Amino acid sequence: MIIAVDGPAASGKGTLARRLADHLGLLYLDTGLIYRAIGWHLLENGFAPGDENAAVEIASTLDLTAIDEVQLRTAGIGEAASIAAANVNVRAAILQYQRRFAEKAPGAVLDGRDIGTIVCPDADHKLFVTASPEVRARRRGRELRLSGTDISDDEVLADLLRRDERDRTRAVAPLKPADDAHLLDTSNLDIEAAFRAAVAIVSGS
Ligand code: C5P
């Protein structure tokens, strides 16, 4: 069983994907964290996020089992991740890892931008999770402030819109729903309601 959960930044797809995996007893992979780790290594070593050679070298040698989630969840790392992620060779370097993860027993839920379109085009279920930009900015702003970042919802909104635009318009693996994806708009749903809607989709009810 493979479940693909895609959507724009801060749409709630990560929370949903993790809960679905727990609920169904499946493995879970947040593929955004891989791109964030690449962005983090680039900045940490003084490279520009758009430095192709450095990004491909990092992506090819990254220890994907040793990703420290907390330090990667900043707006700056998200931006660097999105710039590096627009590179076809960076994406190619981590594609097999994601596919092998998806094939593991007993099955997996993967979330990202291109899971239903590129990484797992034959996934059993595909969800494309959205929410209005304002709702997403409010949710992400609250999260960032809780973790100690001094940032307004307007600043978060500007960051999200810039990143979404880049992710949507890039030439390789752009952010878009697979033709056979179920759209789930969580703008007016709390976490519980969104989870119930996702369970209904994957159980076909
Ligand atoms: O999901 P998250 O916001 O952590 O992802 C960070 C960035 O990584 C995204 O803005 C996107 O550019 C990139 N990404 C991607 N493909 C994925 C997952 C994330 O291009 N499957």
pLDDT per position as a tens digit, 60-108: 999 888 878 888 988 889 999 999 999 999 999 999 999 999 999 999 9
Whole-number Å distance, alpha carbon 35 to ligand 1 midpoint, is 6
Instruction: Please name each of the domains of the chain with its CATH number.
Output: 2-203 (3.40.50.300)
Is 9 touching ligand 1 by the criterion CB < 6 Å? yes
Judge whether 184 and 2 are in contact, CB under 8 Å. no
The residue whose CA has the least distance to atom 4 of ligand 1 is: 32
Helix (H/G/I), strand (E/B), else coil: 130 = strand
Run of H or E residues at 112 = strand 108-112
In this structure, what token pair is assigned to residue 168? 């949507």
How confident is the model over 115-145, as pLDDT tens digits? Answer: 999 999 999 999 999 999 999 999 999 988 9
Backbone phi and psi for residue 170, each to the nearest 5 degrees, phi listed first: -70, 155
Does the predicted TM-score (pTM) go above 0.75? yes
Whole-number Å distance, alpha carbon 113 to ligand 1 midpoint, is 6
